[in-house]
C-alpha cells in the first residue's frame, strides 16, 4: 500500500500505459481520477479498478484545454479531498508522415497534446501540492525525445520538450516540495503502437519486434506503470528533475550489427 491515503490523477487512462498505471496506483491504495477523451475506455478502467477493490472516478476531458485541466484538478480535491500525484501520461503519435510533407496543423496538434497538456497539468496541480509542501508529478516522455528514429519528427520534438519540461519545472518549483520527473518508454505495445505490432504479426516477423534493444523484446504497459508507481511514491522522495528510460536498453547504445552472427 505504497500510496495509501493518497489521491492521484492519471491522464490517458482509458488504455495502455495510462490504464496500467491507474490500476497500479489503485492497487497500492490511491484514490484515482482517471482522465481521457475515450469515454468507453475510461469506464472500463474504472470498472477494472473497482474489481480489485480500488476507488476511481472516470472523468472525460481534453488534457490540452486549460479549463478542462483546471476542472480535473478541482474534481480530485472535491471528490477525494486532496491531490498528491499527477501522472500526465496522455499523448498522441502524430503518425509517420515524411518530414517535408508534414503540415503546421500536424505539428500544432502533436505539440498541443504532448507538450502543452503536461505543462497545464503542472500549472494547475503544482500550486495545490505546494500548499501542502509535497507532491509528485510524473510526465510521459519517450526514448524518441532522446535520439532520432524512435518516432516521427513532431512526436520526437514534443517528447524532447517533455524531458526539458520535467527539468525546468523541477527547478521552477524549487523549495515547494513538489517533484517533477519524466519516464521515457521504449517500444511498448499500446493502442498507439498496435498498428505496427499488427503489421509485424501479419507478415510473420513478430520475432523481430524489439530486436534492437539488449532484451530483444518489446515492453508491456505494466513495466512503465511500475516506474510511474515508484516515482509517484515516497520511495522516490529524493528523485527530482530526471528522465528515466524504460526501454530494454535501447538508448544505452548506438545502432549496430554483429557480422559474425
Which residues are annotated as catalytic?
Answer: 155
Neighbours of 5 (CB within 10 A): 11
- DSSP letter assigned to residue 212: T
Distance of CA 40 to the CA centre of its chain: 20
Largest CA distance in the chain: 62
Identify the residue whose cell numbers are 517535408. 100
Rounded-to-integer distance, Cα 189 and Cα 260, Å: 31
Closest CA to 159 of 146, 170, 171, 169: 146
Helix locations, 133-239, DSSP H? 153-172, 194-203, 221-232
CA distances from 2 to 36, 45, 204, 224, 235 (A): 25, 20, 42, 17, 8
Amino acid at each position: 500500500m505504497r500510496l495509501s491515503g493518497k489521491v492521484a490523477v492519471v491522464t490517458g487512462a482509458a488504455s495502455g500505459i495510462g490504464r496500467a498505471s491507474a490500476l497500479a496506483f489503485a492497487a497500492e491504495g490511491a484514490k484515482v481520477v482517471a482522465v481521457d477523451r475515450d469515454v468507453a475506455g475510461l469506464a472500463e478502467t474504472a470498472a477494472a479498478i473497482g474489481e480489485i477493490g480500488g476507488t476511481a472516478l472516470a472523468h472525460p476531458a481534453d488534457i490540452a484545454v486549460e479549463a478542462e485541466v483546471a476542472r480535473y484538478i478541482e474534481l480530485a480535491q472535491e471528490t477525494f479531498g486532496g491531490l498528491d500525484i499527477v501522472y500526465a501520461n496522455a499523448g498522441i503519435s502524430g503518425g509517420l508522415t515524411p518530414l517535408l510533407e508534414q503540415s503546421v496543423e500536424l505539428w500544432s496538434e502533436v505539440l498541443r497534446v504532448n507538450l502543452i497538456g503536461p505543462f497545464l497539468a503542472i500549472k494547475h496541480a503544482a500550486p495545490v501540492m505546494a500548499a501542502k509542501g509535497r507532491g509528485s508529478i510524473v510526465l510521459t516522455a519517450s526514448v524518441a525525445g532522446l535520439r532520432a528514429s524512435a518516432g516521427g519528427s513532431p512526436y520526437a520534438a514534443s517528447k524532447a520538450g517533455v524531458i526539458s519540461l520535467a527539468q525546468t519545472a523541477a527547478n521552477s518549483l524549487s523549495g515547494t516540495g513538489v517533484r517533477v520527473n519524466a519516464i521515457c518508454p521504449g517500444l511498448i505495445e499500446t493502442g498507439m503502437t498496435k498498428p505496427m505490432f499488427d503489421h509485424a504479426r501479419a507478415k510473420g516477423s513478430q520475432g523481430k519486434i524489439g530486436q534492437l534493444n539488449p532484451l530483444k523484446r518489446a515492453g508491456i504497459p505494466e513495466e512503465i506503470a511500475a516506474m510511474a508507481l515508484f516515482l509517484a511514491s515516497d520511495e522516490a522522495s529524493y528523485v527530482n528533475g530526471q528522465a528515466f528510460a524504460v526501454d530494454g536498453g535501447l538508448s544505452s547504445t548506438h545502432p549496430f550489427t554483429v557480422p559474425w552472427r
